[in-house]
């Protein structure tokens, strides 16, 4: 297994409360890694350290290292916007920006000046809407406000928006928890389709989703990583008592 | 045990006492209803007052409104009450100029301050800066007037006006004809400082209605904070910002004492920001009570007050309606 993200001695704090305790894990390249655990175990906090989102919370602090391709994203000379361009995020609730569907996808391209001329933009927007499986539903209303879409469509739009900036890593923070079952299926299907091209890390609190998606699984409890390994091994033969209890639905 | 017993006894006592003097439920309901009605009347009173003032002004200005055409009153530029000439144009234009200059000077820095406080500032900075800014609103207008008289008028007269005279004279509205410092510009500067706390705090409120999810969505694709502000935060709250500016303007339109101390009070239609002007509030405050023997003079001043009131009411109602819509979205 080739690691894309390596986490070394990572601790995270909200004020004086320690949310992550000495995390050491590796996330494999171009596979889906699922982080699971009961609510409050720190799985979202861990995810937020991968795109330097934790520092948006007032009073949050981090020690240790997160290496993406061997480069510490918490090093002093690192440009946060570059990190976030490489590490995309699919949030829990879709947040379409207050602009048209087209502009939502073009936004990142425009900010990072990744295309030139109207035609290139149009092509790119179409391409990523197709990848996200939304093109056919929106091609006739590209210039309408994105807030007019259904919530499931909004989440696929957010996926297209995130993919447009060509990240290497996709983070999903319970990306289907606000969606109806059909829309959730859409998103899961997309993540599975895309996993050969992107390293994907998904936080989930539903065990069934974890089993459907995971190639690699991490189980967390009370701010610590209890067990991490290939999904098959974790789900069929967990080594830790707490993992076993969680998988059996004891908490 | 003893303690518990004691409490028990006291409770029984109060209960029996209460029962013996308990009012009938009809009496209690009557009291409830009368309380409700009293509060209603008290609440409605300010509304009645506004209507009464408006009607009163209309009634008192009726004589002049019937004797002169609106065109004569509002487009006439000669104000000679003793000759029967009541042209309001100099005063309307004076109010307009002073307000526009005040708003134009106030809005850019106010926007930046509100943006800084809501988007960039650390919690601690915010908790110190906000109350200090609100304190600016507590300074009495007459103090601003004195400050304008001692600091701004000489500054405009000795520094800005000569500079403009030398370099900017060909630009419209910047010609220097009356270089005393008593000018629209001085009044505008004083007004800008006076309306700043209001504009800052309303714009700040408006910015806080933008959900963090939106900011995060933008930051997550590698936008800087400035890009997030420019493309996400500001477009979403544009109507609220405009409303805040209009609210500030309505405050500026009505400001009297600080303006009349620095604006010169000469009834002419101004042609430059270095000219003196005579805004409506100053006209009313300076003249009401004097020279009341002149026919229709009293009615003319009432008419000026009516114009002022109507303008301010319209500004306020518009901005309040828009702001309420914007602020309601906070919950979404």
Tell me whether residue B1 is in a domain: no
Owner of token pair 């509100």: B114
- Report how far residue B227's alpha carbon sits from residue B119's, in angstroms, rounded to the nearest whole number: 12
CATH number of the domain that B232 lies in? 1.10.3720.10
pLDDT at residue B15 greater than cutoff 80: no
Tell me whether residue B39 is in a domain: no
Give residue B169's pLDDT: 77
Number of domains in chain B: 1
Tell me whether residue B215 is in a domain: yes
How do residues A156-214 score in pLDDT, each as one tens digit? 999 999 999 999 999 999 999 999 999 999 999 999 999 999 999 999 988 999 999 99
Q: Are B126 and B117 in contact (CB under 8 A)?
A: yes
Tell me whether residue B14 is in a domain: no
| Poorest-pLDDT segment among A9-13, B44-48, B88-92, B292-296 | B292-296
- Report how far residue B251's alpha carbon sits from residue B259's, in angstroms, rounded to the nearest whole number: 12
CB contact under 8 A, A51 and B214: no
Instruction: Work out the mean pLDDT of chain A and round it to a whole number.
Output: 93
Tell me whether residue B233 is in a domain: yes
ipTM of the prediction greater than 0.90, yes or no:
yes
Which DSSP category does B264 fall into? B
Question: How far away is chain A from the Cα of B218, in angstroms, using its nearest Cα?
Answer: 8
Question: How far away is chain A from the Cα of B43, in angstroms, using its nearest Cα?
Answer: 39
Q: What are the chain B neighbours of A51 within 8 Å (beta carbons)?
A: 220
CB contact under 8 A, A81 and B223: yes
Chains A and B: how many Cβ contacts under 8 Å?
63
The packing angle between helices B184-207 and B123-136, to 10°, is: 140
Tell me whether residue B179 is in a domain: yes
Q: Residues A221-237: what's their mean pLDDT? A: 94
Q: What are the chain A neighbours of B218 within 8 Å (beta carbons)?
A: 97, 107
pLDDT at residue B331 greater than cutoff 80: no
Q: Does residue B220 belong to the interface with chain A, where contact is any CB pair within 8 Å? A: yes
Range of the domain at B294: 67-328
Q: Are A104 and A146 in contact (CB under 8 A)?
A: yes
- Report how far residue B57's alpha carbon sits from residue B52's, in angstroms, rounded to the nearest whole number: 8
Bridge partners, A173 (sequence order) = A203
Q: Does residue B138 belong to the interface with chain A, where contact is any CB pair within 8 Å? A: no
A97 closest CB neighbour out of B123, B218, B222: B218
pLDDT at residue B172 greater than cutoff 90: no
B213 closest CB neighbour out of A83, A93, A165: A93
CA B159 to chain centroid: 30
Tell me whether residue B49 is in a domain: no
Q: Are B245 and B199 in contact (CB under 8 A)?
A: yes
B222 closest CB neighbour out of A96, A99, A112: A112
* Confidence category of residue A72, pLDDT binned at 50, 70, 90: very high
| Poorest-pLDDT segment among A72-86, B72-86, B222-236, B289-303 | B289-303
CB contact under 8 A, A108 and B232: no
The model carries a pTM of 0.83
Tell me whether residue B250 is in a domain: yes
CB contact under 8 A, B214 and A97: yes
B197 burial (CB, 10 Å; 0-12 / 13-18 / 19+) is: buried
Using alpha carbons, list the distances in angstroms from residue B138 to A177, B117, B199.
49, 20, 14
Give residue B20's pLDDT: 60
Question: Between β-strands A199-204 and A169-173, what pairing exists: parallel, antiparallel or unpaired?
Answer: parallel
Q: What are the chain B neighbours of A91 within 8 Å (beta carbons)?
A: 213, 216-217, 220
Query: Residue A64: helix, strand or coil by DSSP?
Result: strand
């Amino acid at each position: 297994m080739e690691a894309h993200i390596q986490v070394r001695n990572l601790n995270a704090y909200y004020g004086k409360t320690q949310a992550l305790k000495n995390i050491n894990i590796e996330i494999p390249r171009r596979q889906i890694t699922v982080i699971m655990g009961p609510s409050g175990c720190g799985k979202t906090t861990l995810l937020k350290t991968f795109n330097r989102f934790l520092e948006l919370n007032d009073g949050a602090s981090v020690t240790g290292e997160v290496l993406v391709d061997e480069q510490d994203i918490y090093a002093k000379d690192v440009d946060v916007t570059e990190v976030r361009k490489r590490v995309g995020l699919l949030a829990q609730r879709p947040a379409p920006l207050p602009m048209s569907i087209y502009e939502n996808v073009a936004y990142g391209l425009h900010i990072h000046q990744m295309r030139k001329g109207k035609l290139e933009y149009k092509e790119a927007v179409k391409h990523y809407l197709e990848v996200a499986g939304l093109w056919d539903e929106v091609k006739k209303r590209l210039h309408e406000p994105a807030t007019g879409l259904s919530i499931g469509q909004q989440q696929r739009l957010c996926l297209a928006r995130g993919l447009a900036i060509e990240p290497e890593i996709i983070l999903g923070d319970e990306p289907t928890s606000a969606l109806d079952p059909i829309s959730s299926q859409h998103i899961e299907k997309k993540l599975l389709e895309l996993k050969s091209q992107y390293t994907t890390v998904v936080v989930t609190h539903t065990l069934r989703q974890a089993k459907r998606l995971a190639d690699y699984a991490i189980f967390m409890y009370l701010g610590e990583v209890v067990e991490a390994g290939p999904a098959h091994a974790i789900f069929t033969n967990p080594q830790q008592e707490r993992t076993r209890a969680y998988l059996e639905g004891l908490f | 045990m003893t303690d518990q017993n004691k409490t028990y006894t006291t409770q029984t006592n109060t209960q029996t006492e209460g029962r013996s003097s308990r009012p009938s439920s009809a009496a209690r309901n009557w009291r409830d209803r009368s309380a409700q009605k009293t509060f209603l009347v008290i609440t409605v009173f300010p509304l009645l007052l506004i209507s009464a003032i408006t009607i009163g002004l209309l009634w008192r200005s009726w004589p002049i409104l019937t004797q002169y055409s609106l065109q004569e009153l509002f487009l006439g530029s000669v104000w000679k009450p003793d000759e029967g000439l009541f042209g309001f144009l100099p005063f309307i234009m004076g109010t307009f100029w002073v307000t526009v200059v005040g708003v134009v000077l106030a809005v850019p820095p106010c926007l930046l301050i509100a943006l800084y406080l809501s988007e960039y500032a650390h919690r601690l900075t915010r908790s110190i800066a906000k109350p200090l800014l609100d304190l600016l609103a507590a300074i009495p207008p007459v103090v601003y007037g004195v400050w304008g008289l001692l600091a701004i008028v000489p500054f405009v007269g000795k520094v800005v006006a000569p500079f403009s005279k030398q370099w900017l004279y060909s630009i419209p509205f910047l010609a220097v004809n009356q270089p005393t410092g008593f000018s629209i510009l001085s009044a505008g500067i004083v007004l800008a400082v006076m309306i700043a706390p209001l504009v800052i705090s309303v714009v700040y409120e408006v910015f806080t209605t933008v959900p963090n999810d939106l900011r995060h969505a933008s930051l997550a694709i590698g936008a800087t904070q400035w890009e997030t502000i420019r493309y996400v935060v500001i477009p979403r709250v544009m109507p609220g910002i405009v409303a805040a500016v209009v609210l500030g303007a309505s405050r500026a339109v009505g400001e009297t004492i600080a303006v009349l101390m620095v604006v010169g009070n000469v009834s002419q239609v101004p042609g430059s920001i270095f000219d003196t002007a005579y805004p409506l509030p100053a006209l009313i405050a300076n003249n009401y009570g004097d020279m009341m023997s002149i026919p229709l003079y009293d009615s003319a001043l009432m008419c000026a007050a009516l114009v002022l009131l109507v303008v301010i009411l319209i500004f306020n109602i518009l901005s309040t309606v828009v702001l309420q819509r914007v602020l309601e979205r906070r919950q979404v």
